[in-house]
Structure 1
Amino acid sequence: MTTRESVRDRTGLGPKGLVREARALLDSAATLLDDHRRALDEVLGALAPLRAQAVKDALVEVPVARLRDVSGGRLRLGPLEDAGIGTVLHVLDTTPYRLQLLPGVGPQTAAQLHAAARRIADAAERSASIRLDVDARDPATTALVVALHRLVNAGPELSRAEAAARELGERLGPPVADARPALSWWRRSFAGRRRRGRAREALGEIAALLPAEDARGTALLLPQASVDLLRPAASGAEAWLDFEVRAAEYHTLLAELAALEPEREAAEGFLPAGVAERVKAQPLDDAHRTVSLRGYQAFGARFALAQERVILGDEMGLGKTVQAIAAIAHLRAGGGTHFLVACPASVLVNWLREIEARCTLAAHPVHGPGRAAALAAWIGSGGIAVTTLDSLYALDVPSGVPVAMFVVDEAHYAKNPEARRSRTVAAWCGRTARVLLLTGTPMENRVAEFRVLVGYLRPELLTEIGPDEAAVGPRAFRSAIARVYLRRNQRDVLAELPEVVHVDEWEEFSPSDEAAYRRAVAEGNFMAMRRAAYAVPAGSAKLRRVAELAGEAAENGLKVVVFSYFRDVLAAVHGVLGPDAHGPVTGAVPAARRQALVDAFTAAPGHAVLLAQIQAGASGLNLQAASVVILCEPQVKPALEAQAVGRTHRMGQVRRVQVHRLLTPAGVDRRMLEILGVKARLFDDYARRSDLAEAAPEAVDVAEQSLARRIVEEERVRLETGPGAVADPEDTGGGP
């Protein structure tokens, strides 16, 4: 059968109809690309004045002395200083002609001064940070938010449509052009034999390409994307409201369009160059992913794929879940069918929601009453099974089920090798080729705990991480563990985040507080000492301050999260703030109920308060609706406070976060801060930038029992109370 006959058999259109259909597709592709380009130009046009102002704001702070740094120290700056020109911005605002009118400044020097100032300005422009602040809605920023609104609301299908349009032009454009001689007898008459042969081949290529585009839905995808881009511009108020709800999407797009991604080394977790290059060479298929990724998130997903068995230790709020989902989606595109996620019960609901929102794979909640049916459905049809760390041991998965990736969220919960959950995690790591451990706190009390996680992945690597290397500091570990560990911090990769302001609120004991505290010291009850300031609510100085802070937040329409380790403290706070306070979220509240409490808190218009036990609320809940955090007392584990704050100060937060930690100047609070300072420094040194440690001379651990005993003994001496046994430091004031 000839090519022409096969074309007629397929379409019934003949060569002209076939090319007409192809041209219609190409026209749709060109139209979409033009519409998209105009939308991008609108964003870049709105961005230009903001970037120019940011550069000016930066240069006005740079003294003229910095000009020597970029000129090898050759420039004479005395004439500038004598003329009152004290900043680089002032130099740029003064023309070279006016500069050379200064005594001692000739044409060549004036040109050199301007060139040096321009070099600094160029550097400032490259690093200029553009922040969208809901509390500073000036016309220029509003114009940018309105321009971004169009692209954000075009949805994730826009990027697919644009990619399809570009690919269509590359694949379909040449054969359509080459097929022209086959469209009429007179064109064939003037074409040579070679061109006629190429025209027949081109018709065959078009006939093969069009069914493929039909299968992809290109004919509908392209015009729909154009319609989305051509909708009337939103009003400023509408765009700002949408931004508050979807800030992460706006910032992701802004970072991409404005080249505001973080420095390369920070985004790559300060990995050695060889490892980083290997990761960047790893493809990342987005066919089954429905969201865009930030540059550092794409790098994290590639790291998991390229290195196969890794720990992703990104700080709270950077999107570890979506990076794991992106890696899973890539493996699904490559033929993987079954994936398993194990997580604490508190985050299981969040995982199910994220999977549904971020990818096309089915999520199976293998937990609770319906676990047997969910497990059978997963085994039969594939997708992502989500279970809890404590239920993982009972998961009966036949050995023939090919688990393409095993993901463990909050992996530090599996740090104790003797615990059943840890043994089960280790067993699953042993039977699965690709493993991804997620943890924002790779060590809490003992740096050796991190070796346990590494041992699940690469036992052979432990021999390379010896105590001698640890003794010389964290840098000695960086190269040793680069194959398995990646960590990035908010301050390095989320330049758009509003600042977080920490305020220590020192409250003197009231008489009733003092009496309760002395009783707790006499009894040797460390946990009662920690919550003595709330023992008598009617006379509590800390409770009075909680009420004041909540009242100030209410006047400003801000949402508040109140954290405490103790349930009876939260009950006292609830009594002061009234029944409208949401919660409390505690360890005894089922995961689905926790999420419902958070949803109600988030959906409440204006001011609202959520009460949460810090060990429950710091894990797995997204609280970026809140911009005020109240910590009722300092925590034994510094990482617990950091996690709690990280639940609010994360990607998607649009307001400055105020963190108020309530402290008493005399007693347990002050001593805890002094003693625990070493633990916070240890975490910063060894874990914050992809560092591990097993032991180091300065890494002195303070266990909770010894901390309690030490403080009780010191307080007895200070208060001259009698000796007694130290009570259980695990008491949480009403259960976990």
Structure 2
Amino acid sequence: MARPGRRPTGARRTAPRQQRRVRDRDLVSLLARTVREVEAAVRRRRVTPSVRTDVQVVALLLREERARVQADGALSPTRRAEQLKRLDGIATILATTAVRDAALLALLDDDAVVSDAARSRRRELLRAVGIEPAPDDLPAPEPVDTPAPPERRVVPRSVVSRQLANPFLAPDFSAPRPAAVRPRRLAGWELLGPLLTSFERAGAGAPASMDLPEPTLRTLPGGAELMPHQARLVAAAAAGHRTFLLADEPGLGKTAQSLLAAEAADAYPLLVVVPNVVKTNWAREAGRWTPHRPATVVQGDGDTIDGFADVVVVNYDVLDRHAGWLGDFGFRGMVVDEAHFIKNRTSQRSQHVLGLSARIRERTPRALLMALTGTPLINDIDDFRAIWQFLGWIDETGPVGELLDALEDTGLTPADPGFYAAARQCVVDRGIVRRRKVDVAADIPARLVADLPVELDGEAGRSIRAAERDLARRLVARYEAALAARTADTADSPDGGIDLELVRRVARWELKEANASTTGENVFGVMRRIGRAKAGLAADYAAQLARSAGKVVFFAKHVDVMDAAEETFTRLGIRFSSIRGDQTPTVRQRNVDAFVTDPDVAVAVCSLTSAGVGLNLQVASNVVLAELSWTDAEQTQAIDRSHRIGQTEPVTAWRIIAAQTIDSRVAELVDSKAGLAARALDGADGDASPAGDVQLEALVGLLTDALAARPGPALPAAR
């Protein structure tokens, strides 16, 4: 027998099994107790550094334990489901607690920097349940001086073609640049801290936006007209201003302002870095506002991009593999949308953005740089650092360039009483522009419907496109069978042999069967699939709106789409109320009251058919329509839950549309039935066409396109 205190032979081999039993019995319970202590502390408003450390450690251990449970082949399905359910419960409490404090919410991000205190606390909790963490099991600190090596770098062929076709466009660095003049009076003063503090100390009447010139141009050559607040920013760019922190509320046209500011500043080619959910919309808006400037979107490895485009749109998620050639492309301007995404300066995403902006400033001293965000501050005042650094106002140590010159010109130092107000004004004058809907209410419609196209990538997108092809093939087969069965002669069809009357008849047959069936792949099933595929993207965009503009109403038609959206909100730490048709009147009203009265409930997730009438949700001025209605009337009813008496701000409804699917066709048909100009310009109601009209026309268009696209000679005239 082994002596007391000595590990028996073979103990090392059995440790994993012992560790598993200890984990199952104790770790989850310890996490539950810890998160309850955090919840109590937040409710008492006693958020100490140790509480913040516990929030991050619980988030780390939850992710690790979830991965371990899912990969543990020794667990029975029942036991695994039980453990995952317990972990989900803890995660829900953690998320709903963290959303009360923005500083805590940031600690839940996957790319949040793990502090030394968090690593130490993690070891402490694991050891408390008898688990000795291995050295390689600990989250390592991110390198500070040595940048992380790129995962994979690519150079699209069309970019190489551009470089070969324009060999004389490489920048020339041979000319000497004037040496920077070091300030004498402020030398030796620590200025970055006081600059940040100047915003914390600002009084209620302190200006939040730089002075902008009166607009010189509002009507564009193509006939499009800018709103006055948009035209003023464009006028500032035309007058020579080159850096902007554009923090307008959503719905005020930041995209158009950025594109036209680049035009006024001759800042092409222009690099635009955006979240994945809006990159398709950026390309569409470029085609609308600057149609003479070709735009291209970087997808995946960039095999389909146009290397000769003037506007290059890339999303944060693929920036790492394209950072190399983007830095050598010769951009004269850069726009970063949802710039609060780079708040963590040590993350790889932020490092790529900051590196690209530094390359552009180095090559083009008067480059246009624009940071777009409705929420420049997520956690605390320190979030300004990354954005200011992107704009070239500061470096790692303090203010530089024009900002440093402006501080020198004040004649003040941080020891002087008036320094903080003057310093804040110096920063604002460098290009902070902030307008709210209520500030420019006269400029914009009382109700605006804005379409946001999204790309459905991956397996979901492929599945939906395959389902649409199957539906089209079935319609074509029906059409051909009906055509072959004809015996009576008919006149030649005037449009290439396609019998449009027969097309409509086949579409009616299909629609009648679809309405009578609850199974099978029909137009309703395809639209439902599209809704599920859009749910996460729509919820992610609603979360961005909630963080930047306040409360949001989120509408969906199907329960599974609402479920998917609510899972996304939970994962993102966004508190929500759920308003559904299967609720009792008491539960329904309690959830409505929570959304209206509780400042921490940011989103109301509503059923389009059950919550589209009879509710007063005017506390929100932003509405997200995750799924399309078959009629404009149903859509308008939903928007009117916010756009009603008591609403003090213009209401913007964001329709999430799956690009290159039948979803886009349905959106166009709904608009055509309602009157696009009335809907988009002043929110006036159009003709209330039956839903069946849109459904029928969607099938007619699908069948007509499929017949026209068939290979071979045109169809013979119907006989």
| TM-score, normalising length: structure 2 | 0.34
Larger Rg: 1
Q: Kindly indicate which of the two structures has a greater share of residues assigned to helix.
A: 1
